[in-house]
Structure 1
Amino acid sequence: MEFRYLGNSGLKISEIIYGNWLTHGSQVENDVAAQSVRAALDAGITTFDTADAYANTAAESVLGDALKGERRASIEIFTKVYWPTGPKGPNDSGLSRKHILESIDGSLSRLRTDYVDLYQAHRFDHETPIEETMQAFADVVRAGKALYIGVSEWNADQLRAGRALARDLGIQLVSNQPQYSMLWRVIESEVIPTSEELGISQIVWSPVAQGVLTGKYKPGAELPAGSRATDEKGGASTIKGFLTDEVLTSVQELQPIADDLGITMAQLAVAWVLANPNVAGAIVGASKPEQVASNAQASGVTLDASVLARIDDAIGDLAERDPAKTVSPEKRPS
C-alpha cells in the first residue's frame, strides 16, 4: 500500500480509502461489513471514510464496531456532516453551528472514538453564512474532536472562500471529496487547479463510476442480478446516468488495456484517478471482502502516457467535463 500526504499537511493517508456509502447498515449484513473492514486492514488500508447520513447514522455505527480494538493512532477515520439525519427536523441538516456541534458528538459516539482525523462539510450550505460554518469547524478542531477539516463537492470559488477563512481561524482545510472517474471529470478544469494553488487534495469517490468501469454492465444486456443498478435503495438512481449503450460500448474498449497491464478493469479505473497528482486517495466500497482486496491492488500501479492516451481514445467525448456539474443544493435537504 502506498501513502500520500493529505493537502498541505503532514498527515499521510493510504491512497486506497475504504468507504461505506451504500453498503454498511444498508446493502450488506453487519458481519460481511466487518469482514470487509478486516480485508481492508489486511490489505494495508489505514484510512476509512463514512458520513453521519449514510444509512441514517447506521453506517458510522457499523464502522465503529468493525474497527473496535484497532490501535487508534494507526488508522485515519473520516466522516462528514450536512445531509439530514435523525427525525429530519428543521435543524437536522446543513452546516449551521447548531447542526455541526451536535453532529460531531453523535458521530464520535457511533464511531467509538474521541476524535476524527478529518471532519468534512458534505456539501456547501447556501443557507448558512460560510463564516458561521468555518467558525464552528474551528471550534470542533480546538476542542480536539477533529484534527483537520475537509469539504465535499465544493466548487472553486467555495474552496477559495473556505480556505481563506480557515487560514484566518488558524485551522487547516486540507481536502475536497468530489466524484471523479474516467467518465466524470468535472473537477479537472477549475477545482483541481484551484486546489493545487491552495494546498488542498482531492479524496475522490466513485472512481469506478458506480461499478460501470468494471465492465460488468454490457451494452444491450440485462442488468446483472444483485448489482448496484438493480438496487432500489439508492444504488440504481446513482448509476443510471452511465448506463447508456454508447457509454457501455466504450467501456468495453478498456478491457484490452487492462489485459495488457495484467490488472482488472476496476484496478485500471482506480489507478487512473490516482495518476492525477492532486488526488491523495481513491475511496472504494465493497459488498464483499474479496472486492476490497482486489481494489487495493491498484495501489502503486503506474500508468504511463501511452496508456493514459489509450484510455482517452476509448472514452472519447463521453466523459462529463462541465465544471457547473459541481453543485450543492440551493436549499437544505429535509
Structure 2
Amino acid sequence: MKELQFQRHRRLRSSHSMRALVRETYLHKEDLIYPIFVVEGENIKNEVPSMPGVFHISLDYLQAEMQEVTDLGIKSVIVFGVPAEKDELGTSAYHDHGIVQKAVAQIKQSFPELVVIADTCLCQYTSHGHCGIVEEGQVLNDPTLNLLAQTAVSQAKAGADIIAPSNMMDGFVAAIRQGLDESGFEHIPIMSYAVKYASAFYGPFRDAAHSSPQFGDRKTYQMDPANRMEALREAESDIMEGADFLIVKPALSYLDIIRDVKNNFNVPMVAYNVSGEYSMIKAAAQNGWINEQEIVMEMLTSMKRAGVDLILTYHAKDVARWLSDQK
C-alpha cells in the first residue's frame, strides 16, 4: 500500500506549552478600556438590571471604583454620564460642572496615571434622546456640531486625556478638532466612533445611560448594518478630519469590518464590545449554559485577531483578573 502523504499540523498542538509557543494573538490588560456610568447624587451604587455586574455609581463611590480598576492593572477608562436633568439642547453635556466633567476631574486628581476617555455625545442629556438638535422631528446635523465641540472642550478642560465622540453627525470630528485646537487643546487626541452601526445590540446600554430616543430611531445618522464599503468612507472622512483612533461598534458581528478598516488605515483601532454582546453572555452564564470565562476570552481574542489594538468592554475587570490568574 502506498504511503499516505499529508501534513502533521497537530505537532504544534501537542501540549499547553507547545500551543503557547506558537500562539499568534494575545490579549493583554493594556488592551482593555473599562466603561463606567456616573450619576448625580450621593451613596448610589445600583446595578443596571439588564447588565449584571455593571453599576450606576455616584461620585462618592468613584474613588473606590477607580482604585479597584488600577489595582487590577487596567490602564484606561471611558466615562459615561447620567445627568439629573435633561433638556432639548442637552445643556448638561457641555456644562463645566456636568456629571462627566466632575467625574473626569475627580479621577485625574486621584489617579493621574490613568488614561481617562470622555464619551462625547448628547443623547443622554437631551429630553428627546437623540444625538443632536431636533426640529420638527428631524435631527439637524450642522447646528449640532457646535454643541459637540463645546462638549469636547469642556471635557478637555476637566482633564480628559482623550475625547471620544459617538454621535455620527457628518463633520463631527472636524468640528471637535477645530474646537479643541482653538481652545489650546491641540495635544488632546480624538478617539472617533467612526464606524457605528444602527444596531439592535445597544439595548442594555440605553437602559444604563437612560438614552433611548423618545421618538423614531437613529437610522438616519448611524450606519445600516448591511453596509460594508460605507464603513471605509466613514473611517476615511474621520482620518482626514483629524481622528487619532478609530472605533468600530458593535464588535462581535462586525469582525469583517474591523479587518477591512485595519487593512486600510494605519491608526490605532478600537473595538466596542457592546452591551448586548455582554448581556447575552452574562444571561447564558447565569443559566449555566456556557463557560463564561472561556467564551469571553475567545470572543475578545477574536477581536484582537481581527485587527484591533484596544477593546472597550464591560468584561474588563473580569478579564484582568483572569489574565492575572494565568501567570
User: How has the CA–CA distance of structure 1 residues 293 and 210 changed in structure 2, closer, same or farther, with 3 Å as cutoff?
Assistant: closer
Counterpart residue type for residue 147 of structure 1: P
For residues 294 and 70 of structure 1, the distance between their equivalents in structure 2, rounded to whole angstroms, comes to 23
Q: Look up the match of 1:217.
A: 286
Q: In 2, are the aligned partners of 1:204 and 1:279 still within 8 Å (CA)?
A: no
For residue 46 of structure 1, the aligned residue among 65, 68, 75 is 75
For residues 87 and 148 of structure 1, the distance between their equivalents in structure 2, rounded to whole angstroms, comes to 26
Counterpart residue type for residue 49 of structure 1: I
Q: Shift of the alpha carbon at 1:81? A: 1.9
User: How has the CA–CA distance of structure 1 residues 134 and 117 changed in structure 2, closer, same or farther, with 3 Å as cutoff?
Assistant: closer
**2:48 aligned with 1:19:** no
For structure 1, list consecutive stretches of 5 or more residues without a partner in the other structure.
1-11, 219-250, 259-263, 287-291, 303-334
Identical pairs, percent? 5
For residues 314 and 125 of structure 2, the distance between their equivalents in structure 1, rounded to whole angstroms, comes to 21
Q: In 2, are the aligned partners of 1:206 and 1:284 still within 8 Å (CA)?
A: yes
After TM superposition, list the pairs within 5 Å mapping 1:55-94 onto structure 2.
Answer: 60-61=100-101, 63-64=103-104, 66-70=106-110, 72=112, 74-83=114-123, 85-86=125-126, 91=133
Superposed CA offset, 1:83-107 (max 9, x none) = 2525559738776322212222343
**2:264 aligned with 1:197:** yes
**2:185 aligned with 1:117:** no
Q: Look up the match of 1:140.
A: 179
Q: In 1, are the aligned partners of 2:35 and 2:80 still within 8 Å (CA)?
A: no
Superposed CA offset, 1:20-74 (max 9, x none) = 14x6558334244432221111112121112456777576256325514245465
**2:153 aligned with 1:105:** yes
**2:64 aligned with 1:35:** yes
For residues 167 and 212 of structure 1, the distance between their equivalents in structure 2, rounded to whole angstroms, comes to 33
User: How has the CA–CA distance of structure 1 residues 140 and 163 changed in structure 2, closer, same or farther, with 3 Å as cutoff?
Assistant: farther
For residue 312 of structure 2, the aligned residue among 275, 283, 288 is 283
- Per residue, is there more strand in 1 or in 2? 2
Q: Please report the RMSD computed on the Cα atoms of aligned residues, expressed in angstroms.
A: 4.0
Superposed CA offset, 1:138-173 (max 9, x none) = 30342416312411515544443344334444x234
For residues 64 and 276 of structure 2, the distance between their equivalents in structure 1, rounded to whole angstroms, comes to 22
| SS of equivalent residue, structure 1 residue 85 | coil
Q: In 2, are the aligned partners of 1:13 and 1:280 still within 8 Å (CA)?
A: no
Counterpart residue type for residue 164 of structure 2: Y
TM-score by length of 2: 0.55
Q: In 2, are the aligned partners of 1:37 and 1:66 still within 8 Å (CA)?
A: no
| SS of equivalent residue, structure 1 residue 176 | strand
Superposed CA offset, 1:98-146 (max 9, x none) = 221222234345xx31x432332x1423xxxx2x434203303424163
Counterpart residue type for residue 217 of structure 1: Q
For residues 297 and 279 of structure 2, the distance between their equivalents in structure 1, rounded to whole angstroms, comes to 12
Superposed CA offset, 1:166-195 (max 9, x none) = 4444x2342114123xxxx32123343134
Counterpart residue type for residue 177 of structure 2: A
Counterpart residue type for residue 148 of structure 1: I
TM-score by length of 1: 0.54
Q: How many residue pairs align between the two structures? A: 231
Q: In 1, are the aligned partners of 2:152 and 2:180 still within 8 Å (CA)?
A: no
Structure 1 runs, 4 residues or longer, greater than 6 Å off: 53-56
Superposed CA offset, 1:269-302 (max 9, x none) = 564445424222233348xxxxx64332345899
For residues 280 and 107 of structure 2, the distance between their equivalents in structure 1, rounded to whole angstroms, comes to 29
For residue 321 of structure 2, the aligned residue among 297, 307, 331 is 297
For residues 298 and 51 of structure 1, the distance between their equivalents in structure 2, rounded to whole angstroms, comes to 25
